[in-house]
Chain A
Amino acid sequence: MIQDVAHRFRFELLPIVNTRYAKFLRTVAALLIVSLQPSGFGADSTDPLSANDGAQAAARDATPVPHLEGNSPASTPGIKPSDPVNRERNNTAVDTKQMSKDRPPDREEKLDERATRRDWRGLLTWLWWTVPIAVGAIGFLFIGAVFFYILKLRRRIRFLRQDKELFQNFGKDRTIWQIVMQRDGGSLHAVPKELAQTLGYSPAELERVPFLDLVAPESQTEAQAALAAVTARGRLPIDARLTCRLRTKTGRTFPVEGIIRARRGASGKEAVVLLQEVPWRDELLAVRSQLEALVTSREEGMLFIDEDEVVVVANEGLARIFKLSTAPGDLRGVPLTKIGGDNAPSPGVSHILAEVLRNPRRFEFNGAALLPEVVPIAHGDRALGHLLIFRDAPKTPDVTPKPNGDVVPPTPGPARPAVFSDNPAKELWCPEAMQAHLPWFGEFAYLDGYSVAEAASLPGWGLAGATRRGRLHAHHHTHREDAFRWDTGDHFTIACVSDGAGSSRYSRIGSESTCREVIRSLREEFQQLRSQLAAADTTTLTNLIAGAMGKSVWQSSVFLHDLADKAACDIKDFRCTFLLVVHYETPGSSIMLGSQVGDGFIQALMSDGRTRRFGTADSGEFSGQVSCFLPEDDAVKKAGVIFRIPHEDIEAIALCSDGIEDAFFPIEKRASSIFRQLYLGTGEKLSGFDDQKAHPPVLGPEPDTAALETWLGFEKRGENDDRTLLALYRHPRRLDPHSILEETAL
């Protein structure tokens, strides 16, 4: 409310008093001058009110104004008279009807002239007219004018009077006193009765008493500073805040605060002081002084700011923490946003403090970890400000292991046993909806077989293969995802191993389907190429077989794509790796070719007792990374990379899934151990293995599939994947198994 009154006082009363009265008076003076110059009245239409003062208007009236015609909007190039804007401008300028300077003024035509004037807002400010009056032979010119200012002014004065009464009543209620005093010297002109009584004087006693005489000695400095501020040169009004104590006649002092305004009043340069008694101020000062004593006595950084975020007191601790170049005592009165300043070592201090004030969180500054705390300070219901406290934060112990081993992980205890259970799979091996699309499903012999082993005796060769569900699948009620398949004919032997990707839903179907489709396709191809193959030399035979191998993999991919379409599932649901070895023998030539997609390995035992790897596992930086899987297109392309295996020099060749590779990694080094155990049986477990059960030789005159299944059951911590091994070995053997090197050097 008080703000509203003050606002109206400042912006409505003062401008009128200072400006419009003066303007009105100037206007009257100008009109008088004009009326005393009857011949000059019609000489031009210069508006006396548009002059800044009467003298200037008179001076202009006395001189011709040749450019007046040019002021007409109609004469301004590019501006059409019909333009409403210009019509408005016509109104704001002198609106005398077509007064032409080119013609001598015709008095008869001028006598009934009227003119209006509008201010910058377009509001009508005055209206004047001329009436000829003839008294005998003497003609007079009557000039009439209506000044709307007068009407408005009276209304405003009435309103302001009401506002003033309202303000005075409000001031009484809130103990606000208005003092008027001389701006220079500060002698009092008007002191309200209430204030005089409070001070123990009568109002008359305080007439012309210097204001500073009423100020208590301890507040003289503040009062003088405020008075000096308002007596300084500058555009009026000038305001200064005043907080001081007044002294009564009896010597008692009491706190007041308020504002001094220098203005140009009725008595010349005067100052108006609005003061309010603040009886609670003493209490606040007491609290504040206690806080100051507290802040300055503490070691930790402390800063007390008032509600305006201006520093009340700061201590040495704060200056130390933030490396302030300003002494803590000099920070009093400095806004929070100015602490530090541009020249301080840490110009961001003010920013940090502002952040802390909003969100006190642990932070580090200049290497020190600090835990700020912001305490709101209040006395009763009156907020005083905030106390910012900066304590050293307990640093979180840095347990980051350093490369030099300063901090190491806890010493591992004995490995916790992992107990896997053997559970049947919960899902059907093949969903019923998909079964109809698998032409071989009816003859699928080991739907529920989690471990499968097969063996065959071929002319000159023996074959043994087995696949075993890994412990992870057994524990989690899921199916084995590895598959192997072999086939043999008059001239060929095909062996393939596939491992379904663990992340694919039907990878077990993908791996089984791939093996079956590849073999089916190869068999068909060999049948179709039978005559060509029979007559082919080694090179032609290689090309034909390699082409058939690539085509068969492509056919398997097509099959799985079709299956995905028919079963309405994603092709990625069938992802699998693939190992393929084809041995084709004709009376004239014999070849063995291989192909690999993904991980796993094809390892041969050479006739000299060494082992040799064929193909390249697709692996990455981390375990289990495979760049592509069948039946994806990239994998089909990769399967087209056929490598030749010098079968004349090999004693045996094994195709193994990654469940074996990972346990025997690096396989190039440890494959000999596999062959030794397969040929000689396992008596003792290999190093690094938790358990290997004893079993007789697997690759003997009669392949022992049971022994192979036992071998696949080796236990090694962390190796719980499906395991599949398919071996093709010479029979009768040409190599003494005891001559297999223990570990082949890389």
Chain B
Amino acid sequence: MARRLPIYILADTSGSMEGTPIESVKQGIRSLHANLLSDPSAIESAYLSVIAFDDTARQLVPLTDVSDFVAPEIDAGGVTALGDALRLLLECIDREVPRSTGQVKGDWRPLIFLLTDGAPTGSHGVPSDDWRSYAQELKRRQLGNIIALACGEHASLETLKEITDSVLLMRDMSPDAFSHFFKWVSYTVTEAAQGGSHEGARGTISLPPPPPDIVLVP
């Protein structure tokens, strides 16, 4: 099997995303899928997975060839169990992404897009820091290039900064802003699919400049 470029989309589906934001995320995933299908390098290598998290984290779509991918239905409600999402992400990467061995060439380092509009909370809605150990695990093992999108003003930038150095802030949660973000994701993925032949061992990739309504958090 050809080497794959795993793309994990971790979407916050808590109650605060209800309405336009969650619909925009769904639409964004669909447009991302369509964009990837128009790029031959993505067709050959991109694999998509969607993990939704609210009270718990669920992998809505296992890592699937972009050709076979079907955008999932997502509903919003509940709290923001970010810790559970990171835990599930670790599990999924360990289970779905083969690493290089003497016999097998491993997949490309996964690209992980994390979208959230709030701070991590436990199952009862109280602030929780169970995500921290999983974030540290992700960083320590360098299991992927994580790009976090803070949606709106209430997203916890501090939390996202602890998870990854690549944090984007989208103050406006309008459908247009989400559309721009997912276009940018498409571009990032196709860039990674083209230029992924070499990357530093630290796993950092050079991100294309974000769209005007999204800023890179220093």
Check if B40 is an interface residue, CB within 8 A of chain A: yes
B54 — which chain A residues lie within 8 A by C-beta?
361-362
Check if A401 is an interface residue, CB within 8 A of chain B: yes
A399 — which chain B residues lie within 8 A by C-beta?
58-62
Give CA–CA (A273, B44) in the complex, Å: 85
B162 — which chain A residues lie within 8 A by C-beta?
none
Q: How far is the CB of A619 from chain B (nearest CB, A)?
A: 6
Per-position 1/0 for B104-125, Cβ under 8 A of A: 1111110000000000000111
- A472 lies within 8 A of B77 (CB): no
Per-position 1/0 for B128-168, Cβ under 8 A of A: 00000000000000100000000000000000000000000
Smallest CB gap from B67: residue in A: A416
Looking at A478, A622, A629, the one whose CB has the most chain B CB atoms below 10 A away is: A622
Q: Which of A150-158, A285-293, A715-723 contacts B (4 or more CB under 8 A)?
A: A715-723
Check if A499 is an interface residue, CB within 8 A of chain B: yes
Check if A608 is an interface residue, CB within 8 A of chain B: no
A620 — which chain B residues lie within 8 A by C-beta?
100, 201
Smallest CB gap from B190: residue in A: A476
A363 contact from B58, B59, B125, Cβ within 8 A? B125
B174 — which chain A residues lie within 8 A by C-beta?
none
Check if A503 is an interface residue, CB within 8 A of chain B: yes
Check if B88 is an interface residue, CB within 8 A of chain A: yes
A365 — which chain B residues lie within 8 A by C-beta?
124
- A502 lies within 8 A of B100 (CB): no
Per-position 1/0 for B57-95, Cβ under 8 A of A: 011111111011010000101110000000010001001
A499 — which chain B residues lie within 8 A by C-beta?
198
- A623 lies within 8 A of B201 (CB): no
A–B complex contacts, Cβ < 8 Å, 24 sampled: A355-B126, A361-B14, A361-B79, A362-B77, A363-B123, A399-B60, A401-B95, A409-B64, A412-B68, A413-B67, A418-B44, A472-B41, A472-B193, A598-B198, A620-B100, A623-B3, A624-B197, A625-B199, A626-B199, A627-B200, A628-B201, A658-B198, A659-B197, A665-B105
Give CA–CA (A417, B43) in the complex, Å: 8
Give CA–CA (A400, B61) in the complex, Å: 8
Check if B195 is an interface residue, CB within 8 A of chain A: yes
Task: List 16 additional contacts besides A400-B62, A658-B198; criterion CB under 8 Å.
Answer: A355-B125, A361-B15, A361-B79, A362-B78, A401-B96, A403-B95, A418-B44, A499-B198, A575-B198, A622-B100, A624-B108, A625-B109, A665-B104, A668-B102, A718-B3, A719-B2
- A503 lies within 8 A of B124 (CB): no
Q: Tell me the count of chain A residues lying within 8 A, CB to CB, of chain B.
A: 72
Given contacts A361-B15, A364-B56, A420-B40, contact A623 B125 (CB under 8 A): no
Give CA–CA (A111, B134) in the complex, Å: 90
Check if A194 is an interface residue, CB within 8 A of chain B: no
A430 — which chain B residues lie within 8 A by C-beta?
none
Give CA–CA (A662, B105) in the complex, Å: 7
Check if A445 is an interface residue, CB within 8 A of chain B: no
Smallest CB gap from A621: residue in B: B99
Give CA–CA (A416, B37) in the complex, Å: 9
Smallest CB gap from A470: residue in B: B197
Give CA–CA (A361, B75) in the complex, Å: 12
Check if A166 is an interface residue, CB within 8 A of chain B: no
Give CA–CA (A403, B94) in the complex, Å: 11
Check if A45 is an interface residue, CB within 8 A of chain B: no
Give CA–CA (A626, B195) in the complex, Å: 13
Q: How far is the CB of B4 from chain A (nearest CB, A)?
A: 8
Which B residues from 164 to 205 make CB contacts under 8 A with A?
193-201, 203, 205
Query: Chain A interface mostly helix, strand, loop or mixed?
Result: loop
A503 contact from B14, B15, B58, B198, Cβ within 8 A? B198
Check if A359 is an interface residue, CB within 8 A of chain B: yes
Give CA–CA (A130, B160) in the complex, Å: 82
Looking at B4, B14, B108, the one whose CB has the most chain A CB atoms below 10 A away is: B108
Check if A369 is an interface residue, CB within 8 A of chain B: yes
- B77 lies within 8 A of A503 (CB): no
A502 — which chain B residues lie within 8 A by C-beta?
194-198
Which A residues from 563 to 602 make CB contacts under 8 A with B?
575, 577, 598-599
Q: How far is the CB of B108 from chain A (nearest CB, A)?
A: 5
Give CA–CA (A162, B96) in the complex, Å: 84
Looking at B61, B77, B95, the one whose CB has the most chain A CB atoms below 10 A away is: B77
Given contacts A361-B15, A416-B43, contact A396 B106 (CB under 8 A): no
B: contact size bracket: 35 or more
A369 — which chain B residues lie within 8 A by C-beta?
55
Q: How far is the CB of B190 from chain A (nearest CB, A)?
A: 8
A160 — which chain B residues lie within 8 A by C-beta?
none
A629 contact from B45, B58, B102, B198, Cβ within 8 A? B198
- A361 lies within 8 A of B107 (CB): no
Per-position 1/0 for A704-726, Cβ under 8 A of B: 00000000000011111100000
Give CA–CA (A399, B63) in the complex, Å: 12
- B79 lies within 8 A of A363 (CB): yes
Per-position 1/0 for B14-45, Cβ under 8 A of A: 11000000000000000000000100110111
Smallest CB gap from B97: residue in A: A622
- B62 lies within 8 A of A721 (CB): no
- B125 lies within 8 A of A622 (CB): no
B197 contact from A359, A419, A621, A658, Cβ within 8 A? A658
- A363 lies within 8 A of B70 (CB): no
Q: How far is the CB of B124 from chain A (nearest CB, A)?
A: 6
Q: How far is the CB of A390 from chain B (nearest CB, A)?
A: 14
Check if A105 is an interface residue, CB within 8 A of chain B: no
Check if A371 is an interface residue, CB within 8 A of chain B: yes
Check if A415 is an interface residue, CB within 8 A of chain B: yes
Q: How far is the CB of B107 from chain A (nearest CB, A)?
A: 6
Q: How far is the CB of A599 from chain B (nearest CB, A)?
A: 8
Smallest CB gap from B77: residue in A: A362
A418 — which chain B residues lie within 8 A by C-beta?
40-41, 43-44
- A371 lies within 8 A of B194 (CB): no
- A352 lies within 8 A of B124 (CB): yes
A409 contact from B63, B104, B105, B198, Cβ within 8 A? B63
B109 contact from A624, A669, A746, Cβ within 8 A? A624
Smallest CB gap from B206: residue in A: A503
A625 — which chain B residues lie within 8 A by C-beta?
109, 199-201, 203
Which A residues from 380 to 437 make CB contacts under 8 A with B?
393, 396, 398-401, 403, 407-413, 415-420
Smallest CB gap from A473: residue in B: B194
Q: How far is the CB of A552 from chain B (nearest CB, A)?
A: 23
Give CA–CA (A416, B36) in the complex, Å: 12
Q: Which 9 A-B pairs have the closest CB atoms?
A: A718-B2, A502-B195, A418-B40, A361-B15, A362-B77, A416-B67, A362-B78, A501-B198, A622-B109
Smallest CB gap from B42: residue in A: A418
Give CA–CA (A411, B68) in the complex, Å: 8
Q: How far is the CB of A537 from chain B (nearest CB, A)?
A: 38
Check if A20 is an interface residue, CB within 8 A of chain B: no
- A475 lies within 8 A of B41 (CB): yes
Smallest CB gap from A620: residue in B: B201
Smallest CB gap from A503: residue in B: B195
Given contacts A476-B194, A624-B197, A625-B199, contact A361 B78 (CB under 8 A): yes
Given contacts A401-B95, A718-B45, contact A746 B62 (CB under 8 A): no
Check if A666 is an interface residue, CB within 8 A of chain B: yes
- B103 lies within 8 A of A415 (CB): no
Smallest CB gap from B15: residue in A: A361
- B62 lies within 8 A of A626 (CB): no
Q: How far is the CB of B81 from chain A (nearest CB, A)?
A: 10
Give CA–CA (A556, B94) in the complex, Å: 40
Check if A348 is an interface residue, CB within 8 A of chain B: yes
B201 — which chain A residues lie within 8 A by C-beta?
620, 625-628
Give CA–CA (A369, B77) in the complex, Å: 11
B97 — which chain A residues lie within 8 A by C-beta?
622
- A717 lies within 8 A of B44 (CB): yes
Given contacts A348-B124, A418-B43, A503-B205, contact A363 B198 (CB under 8 A): no
Q: How far is the CB of B116 from chain A (nearest CB, A)?
A: 15
Give CA–CA (A362, B55) in the complex, Å: 7
Given contacts A503-B205, A623-B105, A626-B200, contact A410 B68 (CB under 8 A): yes
